[in-house]
Structure 1
Amino acid sequence: MESFDGIYLDLAKQPGKCRFADSGLGWKPAAGGDTFTLQAADITQAQWSKAARGHEVKVISRNGDVIQLDGFQQEDFDRLSRPFKQWYSINLESKEHAVRGWNWGKAEFGKAELAFNVQSRPAFEIPYTEISNTNLAGKNEVTLEFSLPGDGAETNGDLAGARAKGQKAGGARDQLVEMRFYIPGTAPKAETNEDEEKGDEDEEMEEQNAANVFYNTLIEKAEIGEISGDNYASFKEVLHLTPRGRFDIDMYEKDFRLRGKTYDYKIQYESVKKFLMLPKPDDVHTLITIGLDPPIRQGQTRYPFLVMQFKRDEEVTLDLNMTEEQLAKYDGKLRANYEAPISSVVAQLFRGLAGKKIAMPSKDFLSHHQQSGVKCSIKANEGHLFCLDKSFMFVPKPATYISFDNVANITMSRVGGAISASRTFDMSVTLKGGAGEHQFSNINREEQGPLEEFFRAKKLKTINEMAEESGALLAAALKDQLESSDDDAGNGVRGSADEDDESIDEDFRDDSDSDVAEEYDSAHESSGSDAEMDDASAGAESDAEERPKKKSKTK
């Protein structure tokens, strides 16, 4: 037996004692707690390298898990090499890491981890168990997303690490959440090692983007795509309002998958914190909202809620791919066959597999149009606000959940416009402890009464500023009207009819002939003959005698 003190298991916060024997290895925390053991038959590979706390022994088990033992000294290498060689029939390989700091190199897929090598030396390794998702972020770019454990105490502080998938770095103060690889060039879809098969396959083998090859290989290695065994149920091209797109939903025993054209997600049922079924006020669709912690991510955007939309009249017939023994584990929460609207089937499956209650809109609230939701907006985003028994829920974007326990007060106010033209109002929900507020705008004025009645029933403090605003606006309007009437009387200004009577037409001139007659004046020169001018003068004089005199205008 070889024993070492001050050894850390899987980046744990507290050290412990590590022992190697012919039956296997074990680690026990110095402060007391559960002991970790690994049988000798399960040890397949071991590596020695320099690490943060001195030197590290990395052990890879038969099922692909990576166990890190950190805290050894340089002189411990010889003591460790003998037990690995004699008891486990394994050579303890010594590896030196690349320390040049280059950000370009070669990625190699090993049995249990992805290694990034610089000049044939590993710069860093990523265990497959730590990768929660991968996506093609561009033509030559692949994104790796790492698991985010909810509480560090549940991870490496309690002997989890790589053996509890995706929770290795849970105890660290800072956590790596995403990494991007730029992969240029092309690569063949398939590779063969037998020379006799190459001749037949060279014609069929096509070149494709190297990023696609990397992406597909990583999905297979990290088990992000298909997993062994059949899924319990599948739903094709389900419309998601948040994040926007159509995703296929595959439901398994411990997780469910969302598969889209660009992004795929693998979500544990343990991450489902809330499940709501909301009837959309259009009487056509039903919204299923799932609250997630940790949220899913698309680049820099985080989505703590999934919002799915289903047609109410769309029915589905589904047979679960489960045996009777598997169904018996859920205590009657699942049935072997379903024939019902698709929204109801999806809700019942999530209720049984995730073990979460389905929250519905409160029966104490009905809008003016006898609906469960009220149309409103958050900034420039239109949606519907639903009143539940213990919370508010705004969907679809940004999906906002507000618990009544966190509400300090609710303020109703009107923004701009005259009294008669104001058909909407705003509602501001202020949170306790100075946590901010949520502003809902453009709510129909008809919904004020039902909302106030619901707030009183739930004992929520409500401030109605619209009554004060209405009184102030009315007083201001009456004051302006009185001032304008007094000013008109003092200036002797009368109505518009008097103005029309007193208006003077400057173009009208009495006792004067029209301007056209001036052209026939005897002094007017013309290019015509004298006879024509005489005839024109004679005609003008006779017309003047026959035309009666104009009457002068009487005032």
Structure 2
Amino acid sequence: MTDKKQFDFDEIYNGLEPTIGRIRFAPSGLGWRGADQSKPITLSVEDFRKFTWLRVARNFQLRIALKDGKIAKFDNFRREDFEELQRIIRQLYQMQLETKELSIKGWNWGRTEFNGDSLIFNVSNRQMFELPVTQAIGALKSGKNEVTVNFVDPGQPGDQTTTGMSNKDTDELVDITFYIPGTVVKSEADGNDAENSEDDEEELAADAAFYDTVKSKLELGQVTTEHIVQFQDVLCLTPRGRYNIDMFQDSLRLRGKTYDYKVQYSNIIKLFLLLKPDEVNVLFVIGLDPPLRQGQTKYPFLVFQFLRDEEIDAELNMDEETIQTKYEGKLSKTYAAPTYEVISTIFRVLTGRKVTVPGSYRSHHGALAMKCSMKANEGYLYPLEKCFLFIPKPPTFIPISDIGSVTFSRVGNSSVGNSKTFDIKFNMKTGNDFQFSSINREEYQRLDEYLKQKKIKTKSELNEGAQITYRELEDDEEDEDEQDEEDSRKRRRTEAANNVSDDEDEESPDEDFVAEQSDSDVAEEFDSNPESEGENGDED
């Protein structure tokens, strides 16, 4: 404290910021400045609505509710600061410092409510924890009566350039799942007064209402900056689905029927624009670090597909002055061009990343990639100038600088005879090998020349235990079936010829046999003379 009209407290954090600083109270308001001499934060006394004191992870927190609905939070006050802080607020602002008790029962069931930008979980009418929903990157309905809220991955907040701390110094909440059974009245879900909507008794699933509320909070987090452009109903191959892409100045938002994600441009590290071998579709690949999460599954690459002949008319939501000053004229106010060109251009400018396109490699049929399989997944392997890229699932990035050698298998005679395909294995310097199978044998020469051009060591081997795909097994079974059928036909023709010969022998008359005359056409078996039988028997 310096005088009666001005009070300071050191070692205070502003919200979730990792930088420690100093807070100063004055009759006109308060201000906070970090130790790194960053831009100070000031609040006017006219904006104050309520002061609250509560226990948090970093000692005690002074929470200030503002008249515009926002909440300012300052952490790391000591317990003995309460009385002094209470006196300062009463003296300078003529307001009371209220104390808020938290629930410490440790229960995992309770009730949720939304207060401004925060999600509050209450147990026995006491707050247990609070989550800043606007800082979440997505929400999804992960199961029946379940809603998962995803926050930043551990790699992002531990970035040295953004927070000043390494990954080992911080623990971050990645995601949290709520189980919400039952139903709620639609008026309650919309936040309307039940007395004014007595006729509206429609019920909604409680988890659906909660999910819609969280999504609306995510949208409010981006209201401060209007979107630059929107792309509707874009087909995504990995992860599978259709998404609306809303692009802002610093981030983009993916909105789908099940998943809703926010991606910072700083997390985009690679961009690829690739023509599929069918020459009808174009693939736009986005590399992410940290990867996108869907539950326990991580997606380091997003693969979007566009029709090559599809065009779009787009208008950017910014003025010409901003385009010329901030983006150096690299963007246009309006676009009327193929969709893949518009999207790749806007991504390149907003992210500051180079878009990688195919190089000089051409397959046997003139395509930019070769069709192959990675385990049970079929896709395309693109030999680019500095890497190999397999898409669409699972997207696999193989830098040429990390390849130790390449092994060709089944390029000659193998256990299954003369195969029409071969396998290739990338032996990486890091020890993680990648194997691709079912490559058309016609691609061998072109691929071998490409590897020699990149000065990559190659070798061929007759691998009797090489992996054989289901397609090849089916082809082999078909060949065996055809051979068996041909053998069966030969056997049937031989048997038929033998049967015809036997039938002719049976039907030919016996010259030594003379039929006895009889009144009946068929001689009775027991119509004979016993004496003659005896005589014949003696003769025999």
Counterpart of 2:192, as a letter, is T
Secondary structure of 2:418's counterpart equals: coil
Partner of 2:436: 440
1:192 matches 2:192: yes
Report the counterpart of residue 48 of structure 1 in structure 2: 53
Higher-Rg member (1/2): 1
Q: Secondary structure of the equivalent of 1:223?
A: helix
Q: Does 1:153 align with 2:160?
A: yes
Please point out which of 166, 169, 179 is paired with 2:176.
179
Alpha-carbon spacing, 1:59–1:153, altered in 2? closer, same or farther (3 Å) = farther
129, 137, 152: which one aligns with 1:124: 129
Paired residues of 1:135 and 1:264 also in contact (CA < 8 A): yes
Q: Which moved more, 1:294-303 or 1:145-154?
A: 145-154
Taking only the aligned residue pairs, the percentage that are identical comes to 41
Amino acid in the other structure paired with 2:379: G
What is the rounded CA distance, in whole Å, between the counterparts of 1:295 and 1:387 in structure 2?
Answer: 23
SS of residue in 2 equivalent to 1:451? helix
Structure 2 distance, partners of 1:320, 1:222, is 22
Q: Deviations over 1:38-76 (max 9, x none)?
A: 334455543322234543333456676655443333221
Greater shift, 47-56 or 271-280, is seen at: 47-56
Q: 1:149-298 residue pairs with structure 2 within 5 A?
A: 149=156, 151-157=158-164, 172-190=169-187, 191-193=191-193, 195=195, 198=196, 201-223=197-219, 227=223, 231-298=227-294
Looking at structure 1, the residues matched to 249 and 34 of structure 2 have their Cα atoms a distance apart, in angstroms, of: 32
Q: Separation in 2 of the partners of 1:372 and 1:349?
A: 24
SS at 2:271 equivalent = strand
Change (3 A) 1:172 1:218: farther
Task: After superposition, give the CA deviation of every residue in 1:145-185 in whole Å (9 maximum; x if it has no partner).
Answer: 00232534344448xxxxxxxxxx97853321110111112
Q: Does structure 2 retain, via aligned residues, the 8 Å contact 1:6–1:15?
A: yes
Amino acid at match of 2:249: E
1:360 correspondence with 2:361: no
Match of 2:42 among 35, 38, 42: 38
Range that drifts further, 179-188 or 245-254: 245-254
Amino acid at match of 1:280: K
CA distance in 1, matches of 2:20, 2:116: 28
Change (3 A) 1:202 1:63: closer
Deviation at 1:404, TM superposition (A): 1.9
TM value normalised by structure 1: 0.76
Q: Which amino acid aligns with 1:290?
A: I
Deviations 1:111-142 (A, max 9, x none): 23111010011111111233121122234211
Q: 1:410 — aligned with what? A: 406
Select the residue among 312, 336, 339 that pairs with 2:336. Answer: 339
- Structure 2, unmatched stretches of 5+, are 1-5, 465-504, 517-522, 533-540
Label 1:343 to 1:37 Cα distance change in 2 as closer, same or farther (>3 A): closer
Q: What SS class does the counterpart of residue 137 from structure 1 fall into?
A: strand
Q: In the superposition, relative to structure 1, how do residues 202 and 519 fare at CA in structure 2: closer, same or farther (>3 Å)?
A: farther
Whether the 8 Å contact between 1:133 and 1:224 is mirrored in structure 2 is no
Q: Secondary structure at the match of 2:414?
A: coil
Counterpart CA distance in 1 for 2:447 and 2:419 is 18
Secondary structure at the aligned position of 2:344 is classed as helix
Q: Is 2:81 aligned against 1:76?
A: yes
Q: Match of 1:480? A: none
1:460 maps to 2:456: yes
User: In 1, Cα distance between the equivalents of 2:220 and 2:410?
Assistant: 51
Which runs of structure 2 are paired with 1:403-552 in the superposition (5 Å)? 403-414=399-410, 417-418=414-415, 420-434=417-431, 436-465=432-461, 526-527=524-525, 529-530=527-528
Q: Which residue of 2 aligns with 1:550?
A: none
Counterpart residue type for residue 279 of structure 2: D
How far, CA to CA, are the matches of 1:258 and 1:332 in structure 2?
A: 26
For 2:21 and 2:226, locate their aligned partners in 1 and report how far apart those are by CA, in whole Å.
41
Q: Which is further off, 295-304 or 317-326?
A: 317-326
Q: Residues of 2 paired with 1:8 and 1:318: CA distance?
A: 44
Counterpart selection for 2:388 from 375, 387, 392: 392
Change in 2 beyond 3 A, CA 1:393/1:150: farther
CA distance in 2, matches of 1:337, 1:18: 47
Contact 1:26-1:36 within 8 A present in 2 as well: yes
Quickly say closer, same or farther: Cα 1:293–1:414, change in 2 above 3 A. Answer: same
Amino acid at match of 2:328: D
Measured in 2, the distance between the counterparts of 1:342 and 1:421 equals: 44
Aligned to 2:485: none
CA contact (8 A) 1:410 1:460 kept: yes
CA RMSD across the alignment: 3.8
2:31 aligned residue (25, 31, 34): 25
2:333 maps to amino acid: A
**Shift of residue 370, structure 1, vs aligned partner:** 0.8
Please tell me the residue identity of whatever aligns with 1:146. F
Q: What amino acid is aligned across from residue 24 of structure 1 in structure 2?
A: L
Unaligned runs of 5+ in 1: 159-168, 470-508, 535-555
How far apart are the structure 2 equivalents of 1:54 and 1:61? 22
Counterpart CA distance in 1 for 2:349 and 2:171 is 35
Q: Distance in 1 between matches of 2:31 and 2:221?
A: 33
Does structure 2 conserve the Cα–Cα contact (< 8 Å) formed by 1:157 and 1:171?
no
State the TM-score, normalized to the length of structure 2.
0.78
What's the counterpart of residue 468 of structure 2? none
Q: Which moved more, 1:273-282 or 1:247-256?
A: 247-256
CA distance in 1, matches of 2:235, 2:363: 26
Q: CA deviation at 1:353?
A: 2.3
Please tell me the residue identity of whatever aligns with 1:407.
I
Match of 2:489 in 1: none
- CA–CA separation in structure 1 for the residues paired with 2:182 and 2:194: 25
1:114 aligned to 111, 114, 119, which one? 119
Question: How many Å separate the matches in 1 of 2:249 and 2:14?
Answer: 30
Pick closer, same or farther for the CA change 1:336–1:70 going to 2, 3 Å.
Answer: closer
- The number of equivalent residue pairs is 476
